[in-house]
């Protein structure tokens, strides 16, 4: 029996990329024997974009039904005519980084290789062992370097595959920098340095920040064919404003219209934080049912 792959795409406000990403990834994977499903995990509020939280939530939602997981940036498209073909998305032994050659960086690989971002595959066990992605980085930058550092701290091997990807241009939105302040990328690298200093001083920063500390609320969901779309909000003591509710109801995103999907489920409740070693609870099937 072939292993099932969940492709998890952290997402917000990039519909022009999603329109190209969905058919491109389907065209690539449909030439393989991989049993896959695409999960779009949308941050359904207008607060700072938190990619790590979205990826952790996507794993949390999909982990019971899939064997391995691909965390995939929405603006990266695999090149079909590259020498690495159908085997690129095959299951890894632990973690595999796929996007070695990326157009926006002139197809020059990072040397030395020290990040797990762009496009990466994880087994269920490897993702749990590093406690997923850190939730402390906002917008973009450093969460992929932090993930690689976690693999080194926890002794998890990262394979680097020779994938080649086109990158779609986009403007960096949602607070690239605070007024009269440093860009978020700079802030995130400062935070990454602080994390490593705390770890060097003996603090277990990995176990307290990541999959085990991610809490979220499902505020909308759709399913059709190989596609699942889940809008989530984060729980930080108070439920943040669901500015995307109106967007989910009218108008529908472009391929919901194509699928003639019914009105979305709204509501849900937060997950329960747990330690990485704790047994995984069975989720509330009514809350997470994607048959609505």
Does residue 74 surpass a pLDDT of 50? yes
Least confident of 81-85, 148-152, 153-157: 81-85
Average pLDDT over residues 115-139: 93
41-59 pLDDT, tens digit per residue, is 998 776 788 999 999 999 9
**Rounded to an integer, what distance in angstroms lies between the CA atom of residue 82 and that of residue 92?**
20
pLDDT for res 39:
96
Burial class of 8 by CB neighbour count within 10 A (0 to 12, 13 to 18, 19+): buried
**Rounded to an integer, what distance in angstroms lies between the CA atom of residue 249 and that of residue 160?**
41
Least confident of 241-245, 270-274, 283-287: 283-287
Interacting residues of 287 by C-beta distance below 8 A, sequence separation 6+:
218, 267, 268, 269
Could you tell me which residue, 224 or 154, shows the higher pLDDT?
A: 154
pLDDT for res 193:
87
Average pLDDT over residues 66-89: 88
Instruction: Give me Rg for the CA atoms of the chain.
Output: 18
Q: How many CB atoms lie within 10 A of CB 192?
A: 19
Does residue 130 surpass a pLDDT of 90? yes
155-190 pLDDT, tens digit per residue, is 999 999 999 999 988 665 444 344 444 465 678 888
The encoded tokens of residue 93 equal: 């032994």
The encoded tokens of residue 283 equal: 């989720």
The values of phi and psi at residue 45, to 5°, are -150, 175
Average confidence score pLDDT of the chain: 78
- The verdict on pTM exceeding 0.85 is no
Name 95's bridge partners: 122, 158
% of the chain surpassing 70 pLDDT = 73
204-248 pLDDT, tens digit per residue, is 999 999 999 888 888 778 888 888 988 888 765 444 444 444 444
DSSP-assigned letter for residue 69: E
Average pLDDT over residues 191-199: 89
């Amino acid at each position: 029996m072939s292993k099932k792959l969940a492709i998890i795409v952290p997402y917000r406000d990039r519909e022009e990329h999603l329109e190209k990403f969905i058919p491109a990834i389907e065209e690539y994977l449909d030439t393989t024997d991989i049993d896959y499903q695409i999960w779009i995990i949308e941050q359904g509020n207008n607060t700072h974009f938190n990619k790590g939280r979205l990826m952790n939530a996507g794993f949390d939602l999909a982990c019971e039904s899939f064997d391995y997981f691909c965390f995939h940036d929405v603006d990266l498209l695999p090149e079909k005519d590259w020498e690495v073909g159908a085997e690129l998305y095959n299951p890894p032994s632990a973690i595999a980084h796929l996007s070695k050659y990326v157009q926006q960086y002139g197809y020059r690989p990072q040397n030395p290789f020290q990040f797990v971002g762009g496009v990466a595959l994880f087994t269920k066990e490897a993702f749990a062992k590093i406690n997923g992605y850190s939730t402390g980085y906002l917008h973009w930058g450093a969460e992929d370097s932090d993930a690689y550092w976690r693999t080194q701290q926890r002794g998890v091997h990262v394979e680097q595959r020779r994938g080649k990807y086109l990158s779609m241009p986009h403007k960096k939105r949602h607070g690239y920098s605070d007024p009269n302040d440093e860009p978020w990328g700079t802030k995130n690298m400062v935070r990454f340095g602080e994390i490593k200093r705390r770890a060097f001083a003996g603090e277990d920063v990995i176990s307290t920040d990541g999959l085990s500390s991610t809490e979220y609320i499902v505020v909308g969901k759709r399913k059709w064919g190989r596609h699942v779309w889940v809008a989530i909000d984060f729980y930080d003591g108070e439920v943040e404003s669901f500015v995307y509710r109106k967007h989910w109801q009218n108008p529908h995103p472009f391929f919901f219209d194509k699928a003639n999907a019914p009105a979305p489920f709204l509501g849900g409740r937060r997950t329960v934080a747990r330690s990485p070693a704790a047994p995984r609870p069975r989720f509330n099937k009514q809350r997470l049912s994607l048959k609505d």
